[in-house]
């Protein structure tokens, strides 16, 4: 098949692009490099630097494409609280631009990389797709809006659309910006260096951490499995891990006792997250394979940033 991946030089997009090219598909990537790194991409992937809101450029890249993965987005929950307008421009307007280009180019399937954050605070766990979303950040709002645009425009323009609600993805070479870094690589780096990590609140708040290879399994299935049109499907590990448990596992894998500082204030967000994978298994044949401990061990072995720390 011939694919276009927006945001394909980012963490999830590049892992997906490399998997597809290794499987013998033709892969095109467009990325504005605001967070992506072309060096992550296999040499046979066709890379174009560009913004998804540049519809003429998108249209030219979509010629002959059979499936689009829309992964381009700004992805930091804390940052979105500070800059909601930027998140709306990138994640909502950008999605609409991609949909218009897909319509005009005649592409028949689009897979949206959405987020488990759209669920917000729910009374019960695990989180299943029939729940009413309750987004608690501009990032989550932007992803929910993108889902609605994808489904509605798909119906109107005869595009088969699928939205995957990806939970807390992690893995080797996950970006580690100085501002608002993701939890797992940030904590691992600090533990390796003997530095301190901060846990907000009680540390009992939970997340569903899913290894990048498992995320890619779900994404690949979403482009080929039949009878997925208009569906929203979870992609997580199905395991609920508290912050305290995460720090303990990181310490065991790294081989150092973490130096933990507790901040009594609560950092925001939601208290619990765990993906229900019933629909993912039924529709995608998706079963996550990598445990948290195994995934963290792979990060140590495969990510040169951690290997250099003594």
Q: Which of 69, 87, 119, 139 is catalytic?
A: 139
What value does the mean pLDDT take over residues 9-20?
98
Exposure string of 284-309, with b = 16+ CB inside 10 Å and e = fewer, is bebebebebeebbbbbbeebeebeee
- Give the CA diameter of the chain: 56
Question: Where residue 268 falls among pLDDT bands split at 50, 70, 90?
Answer: low
What value does the mean pLDDT take over residues 147-173?
98
Which alpha helices (DSSP H) does 116-195 contain, by range? 138-157, 183-193
Distance of alpha carbon 7 from alpha carbon 182, whole angstroms: 18
Instruction: State the distance between the two ends of the chain, measured CA to CA, in whole angstroms.
Output: 44
What value does the mean pLDDT take over residues 118-146?
97
Dihedral (CA of 129, 131, 135, 141) sign: positive
Residues 214-227: tens digit of each pLDDT: 999 999 999 999 99
Cβ neighbour number for residue 45 with a 10 Å cutoff: 21
Residues 227-243: tens digit of each pLDDT: 999 999 999 999 999 99
119 is catalytic: no
| Lowest mean pLDDT, pick from 170-174, 178-182, 189-193, 221-225 | 178-182
Q: How far is CA 243 from CA 205, 235, 246, 286, in A?
A: 6, 20, 5, 26
Question: Where residue 212 falls among pLDDT bands split at 50, 70, 90?
Answer: very high
What's the pLDDT at 304? 85
Distance of alpha carbon 173 from alpha carbon 2, whole angstroms: 26
Is the whole-model pTM more than 0.85? yes
| Percentage of the residues of the chain whose pLDDT score is greater than 70 | 97
């Amino acid at each position: 098949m011939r694919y276009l991946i927006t945001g394909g030089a980012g963490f999830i997009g590049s892992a997906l692009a490399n998997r597809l090219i290794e499987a013998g598909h033709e892969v095109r990537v467009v990325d504005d490099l605001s967070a992506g790194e072309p060096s992550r991409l296999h040499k046979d992937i066709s890379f174009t630097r560009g913004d998804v809101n540049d519809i003429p450029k998108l249209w030219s890249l979509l010629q002959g494409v059979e499936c689009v993965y829309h992964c381009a987005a700004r992805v930091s929950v804390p940052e979105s609280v500070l800059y909601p307008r930027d998140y709306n421009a990138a994640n909502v307007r950008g999605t609409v631009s991609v949909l218009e280009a897909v319509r005009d180019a005649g592409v028949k399937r689009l897979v949206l990389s959405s987020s488990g954050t759209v669920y917000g605070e729910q009374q019960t766990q695990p989180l299943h797709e029939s729940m009413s979303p309750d987004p608690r950040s501009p990032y989550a709002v932007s992803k929910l809006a993108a889902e609605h645009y994808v489904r509605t425009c798909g119906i109107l323009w005869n595009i088969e659309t699928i939205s995957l609600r990806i939970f807390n993805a992690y893995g080797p070479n996950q970006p580690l910006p100085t501002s608002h870094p993701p939890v797992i690589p940030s904590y691992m780096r600090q533990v390796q260096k003997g530095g301190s990590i901060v846990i907000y609140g009680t540390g009992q708040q939970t997340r569903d951490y899913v290894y990048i290879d498992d995320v890619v399994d779900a994404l690949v299935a979403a482009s080929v499995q039949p009878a997925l049109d208009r569906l929203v499907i979870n992609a997580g590990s199905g395991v609920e891990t508290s912050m305290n448990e995460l720090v303990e596992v990181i310490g065991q894998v790294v081989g150092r006792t973490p130096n933990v500082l507790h901040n009594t204030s609560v950092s925001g967000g939601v208290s619990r997250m765990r993906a229900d994978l019933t629909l993912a298994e039924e529709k995608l044949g998706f079963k996550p394979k990598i445990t948290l401990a195994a995934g963290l061990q792979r990060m140590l072995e495969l990510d040169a940033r951690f290997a250099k720390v003594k």
